[in-house]
């Protein structure tokens, strides 16, 4: 909960049907707020492909059951068209260009804390709460500070780094100061039906054994762009079925039994080639360029700044020096090399626990340069 929490106001809680958002809603009810539950419908059932994931039929059913338990109203907010155009289409465009996108960041920025927040305001709510493991505090000038969640194993501040100040001023994260074990215990004490619910999937639409990139290719009628798999000298080792199936650092799915242990070093969109290496150490790079950066805290300024930079969700932030190198673009030099810097992923900047900002990685490696198409 943010410092100086509101009282006696209407709060919309984004309920996914999982334990975290269920406990978030329950805690706010305990504190006497007027709580309204809302679940996003992100995929239309008109084409028969609605996911049974956290954002599909099962999630809506579980969220409605929790709302009934808590005695609060529950709404389903249909964002399928916006999700298709603002999240899924840009994600496929990235895959088609050989990049590795992060759908969850786009969904948070454009749908959950865009469309849903607007819906909450239209309903007369002052606040939108979610079950994210992140924290908000008030800075010395009254500005919101976005911080990591206290549970380092569940911290989700990486996924929220692209939000703006206006959005943060209307948000609450009730479980951000708790660990997962405590959240489970609170759910059990309240006999919530989601107390033992499995963890939500990282990507909507995807079931066990399915590949998001391939599902999106089929959805949008995209080309698979098959091509060669080559080693670092250019020698052809095999063929692949499409560059959208690969990301930097990947080992599985190469089907190169004669080449021994190999990892993807580069997805080369120009000629649809997948460059592999047998030396895992060569996957490490000491710099990157990030475009379309947005800042919640002090940016690099004229002389740059030192901070920690996280290049993907399951990655420990590393100390780095960040400098501006163009409009909305920064260069990052790490103190020590970082494994598998993938264009298309988000680089999130931290000062300790505080989130400073976010940029989209356009290039990375030992000798990075500003190139490639920036995310629209």
- Active-site residues: which are they? 107, 204
In 3D, which of 370, 358, 19 has the Cα closest to residue 181? 19
Q: Three-state SS string across the chain, please?
A: CCCCCCCCCEEEEECCCCHHHHHHHHHHHHCCCEEEEEEEECCCCCCCCCCCCCCCHHHHHHHHHHHHHHCCCEEEEECHHHHHHHHHHHHHHHHHCCCCCCHHHHHHHHHHHHHHHHHHHHCCCCEEECCCCEEEEECCCCCEEEEECCCCCCCCHHHHCCCCHHHHCCEECCCCCCCHHHHHHHHHHCCCCCCCCCCCCCCCCCCCCCCHHHHHHHHHCCCCCCEEEECCCCCEEEEECCHHHCCCCCCCCCCCHHHCCCEEEEEECCCCEEEEECCHHHHEEEEEEEEEEEECCCCCCCCCEEEEEECCCCCCCEEEEEEEEECCEEEEEEEEEEECCCCCCEEEEEECCEEEEEEEEEEEECCCCCCCCCCC
Could you give the dihedral angle defined by the CA atoms of residues 52, 57, 60 and 66, in that order, rounded to the nearest 10 degrees?
-80
Residue 155's CB is within 10 A of a number of other CB atoms, namely 19
Could you give the dihedral angle defined by the CA atoms of residues 314, 320, 323 and 328, in that order, rounded to the nearest 10 degrees?
10
Ramachandran angles phi, psi of 359, nearest 5°? -140, 160
């Amino acid at each position: 909960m943010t410092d100086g929490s509101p009282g006696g106001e209407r709060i919309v809680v984004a309920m996914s049907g999982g334990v975290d958002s269920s406990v978030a809603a329950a805690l706010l009810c305990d504190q006497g707020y007027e709580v309204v539950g809302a679940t996003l419908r992100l995929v239309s059932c008109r084409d028969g492909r609605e996911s049974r994931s956290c954002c599909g039929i099962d999630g809506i059913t579980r969220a409605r059951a929790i709302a009934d338990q808590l005695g609060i109203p529950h709404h389903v907010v249909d964002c399928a068209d916006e999700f298709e155009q603002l999240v899924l289409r840009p994600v496929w465009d990235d895959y088609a260009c050989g990049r590795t996108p992060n759908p969850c960041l786009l969904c948070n920025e454009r749908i959950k804390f865009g469309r849903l927040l607007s819906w909450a305001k239209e309903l007369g709510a002052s606040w939108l709460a979610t079950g994210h493991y992140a924290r908000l505090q008030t800075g010395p000038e009254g500005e919101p500070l976005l911080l990591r969640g206290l549970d380092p194993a569940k911290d989700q501040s990486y996924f929220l780094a692209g939000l703006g100040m206006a959005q943060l001023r209307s948000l609450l994260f009730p479980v951000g100061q708790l660990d997962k074990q405590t959240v489970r215990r609170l759910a059990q004490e309240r006999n919530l039906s989601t107390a033992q619910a499995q963890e939500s999937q990282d990507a909507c639409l995807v079931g066990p054994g399915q590949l998001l990139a391939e599902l999106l290719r089929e959805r949008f009628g995209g080309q698979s762009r098959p091509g060669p798999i080559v080693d670092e000298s250019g020698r052809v080792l095999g063929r692949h079925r499409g560059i959208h199936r690969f990301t930097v650092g990947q080992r599985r799915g190469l089907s190169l039994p004669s080449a021994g242990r190999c990892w993807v070093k580069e997805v080369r969109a120009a000629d649809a080639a997948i460059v592999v290496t047998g030396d895992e150490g060569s996957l490490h790079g000491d710099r990157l360029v990030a475009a379309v950066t947005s800042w919640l805290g002090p940016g690099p300024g004229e002389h740059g700044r030192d901070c920690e930079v996280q290049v993907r969700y399951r990655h420990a932030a590393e100390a780095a020096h960040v400098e501006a190198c163009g409009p909305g673009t920064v260069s990052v030099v790490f103190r020590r090399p970082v494994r598998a810097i993938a264009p298309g992923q988000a680089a999130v900047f931290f000062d300790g626990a505080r989130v400073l900002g976010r940029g989209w990685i356009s290039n990375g490696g030992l000798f990075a340069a500003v190139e490639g198409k920036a995310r629209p």
